[in-house]
Chain A
């Protein structure tokens, strides 16, 4: 199971990197979203995907899944959510100011004000 998920994570990383290397701002942001998706999945996988009950003590199971990676992922998700929303608004403002969503064209505009 871990091998399968690792391959999926690898594909997500590839897609993320490919999109980040494009010129269009929206594609770049989608790329970062996919990249962080891959990272969170990796965190889950690296914690081990052994069989076990969900980490709720009320389940009274013999073994539970590792609760630590889940807490880490939850933290990482809200952080990347905050950053992504900031990034989207920033891209919107940059689009308004520069009149383009192409990173290359933005580079040409040196003048301020």
Chain B
């Protein structure tokens, strides 16, 4: 029994509750938020080492044996994602020091972020499908409050749609759980996996699997279900968009990976091939959207959609390279999307507009910001010294190994379009002749660039030191490919 497994979940929860009482004492709120992030980073690194050495760690909540109680499962994948989520939380909190207006900070921004993190981490760690639903609701409720915080007209309009979409997808989630419970009689993921393996996934279970794909696809914004994302992610201030882009869709992707590798893996010709087709179309839609708009936020938002497609392609290949590439790209994508949204926030502070073409020539006065944006753009597209390269390389290898040549071609073409879309921001807004509002009307970007540099530095480390990251991601891939490891770890007799 190791209580450390539950620590990443308890730290943000307790911090969030304490922060609720601190009201308008912002310095304390900031300090505690950073402290909580650091504590989660430290525990998850410790946990990660432990998992690599001693195998998957489980925590039986209340001491009830699975499948009867709720169990938390920390395998390499979940722990890595917990680590990266807390890194993003720390970076965005640093950005808020100067990058968020006082009014929003005074009205429970920091506690809401802690509760969001609780939901995200809980969704990563849980080993129970209904508990996953509950943690989804925890993170969704916090995200509803964050998206509407400030209450501008656009925010109100977009959050109405966002809440509606998520209410519907939650209803579908409960429906899917109800069907699955009636078919198998259990809710524990390991036990579900064992029971479905016994009956060899008949057609009924495959239908339920596709229902889960709809549910998680709505959270992850895959092709036919992404329509809510562009509006919802461009409405709130950049910090909140950065948190959303870094964490929320990734939870949906993680859930798809988890469910389709541990539970519904018996008929990949139906389920995984469907995911592949949807992922390919998602990439096309994301790339087309990214080059179609002249608005910085819209471009980045469609890049989020394209990123979802890239990551899910690894699941569709369903071999070692594909899954490894998918996992690596998922981690990279969390860092880089958060960094890009924060940089866009800094750019908008200077230019006072999100439209391309209304302002240009930032680089003369703000060289650090300009070059950081270039580095982020190159990393996003997958240029070697940064982390995007290895993920995409392995995704392509996995695609070739699975003989999905069309999907690989789509991946390469949309990578090119994604690069074009962000380089367009670089050439037209950052380079070029200086057309900027006069100095007095520009906001202060001091301190706004450092959080992105921190994230990009980590991305650079992931790219250069891929060998150091390799064993952890390989261990995560190993668990995804061999569900027995997961089942044995959860259902073992003490």
Contact = CB atoms under 8 A, between A and B. Distances in A.
Interface string B165-181: 00110110011011101
Nearest to A91: B160
A112 to B, nearest CB: 5
A87 B167 contact: yes
Interface in A41-76: 42-43, 45-48, 68-69, 72, 75-76
Interface string A74-85: 011001101100
Nearest to A75: B134
Nearest to B183: A46
A42 B153 CA distance: 37
A42 B160 contact: no
A97 interface: yes
Interface residues on A, range: 35 or more
Contacts of B140: 83
B153 A109 contact: yes
B137 interface: yes
B83 interface: no
B151 A46 contact: no
Interface residues of B, number: 31
B168 A32 contact: yes
A107 B157 contact: yes
Contact of A42 (B145, B164, B168, B178): B178
B164 A46 contact: no
Contacts of B187: 68
A113 to B, nearest CB: 7
Interface string B108-131: 000000000000000000000010
B303 to A, nearest CB: 23
B412 interface: no
Contacts of A111: 153
Interface of B: 130, 133-134, 137, 140-141, 144-145, 148, 151-154, 156-157, 159-160, 163-164, 167-168, 170-171, 174-175, 177-179, 181-182, 187
Minimum-distance CB pairs A-B, first 5? A46-B182, A46-B178, A94-B156, A43-B178, A39-B174
6 contacts: A36-B167, A39-B174, A42-B178, A82-B141, A90-B148, A106-B157
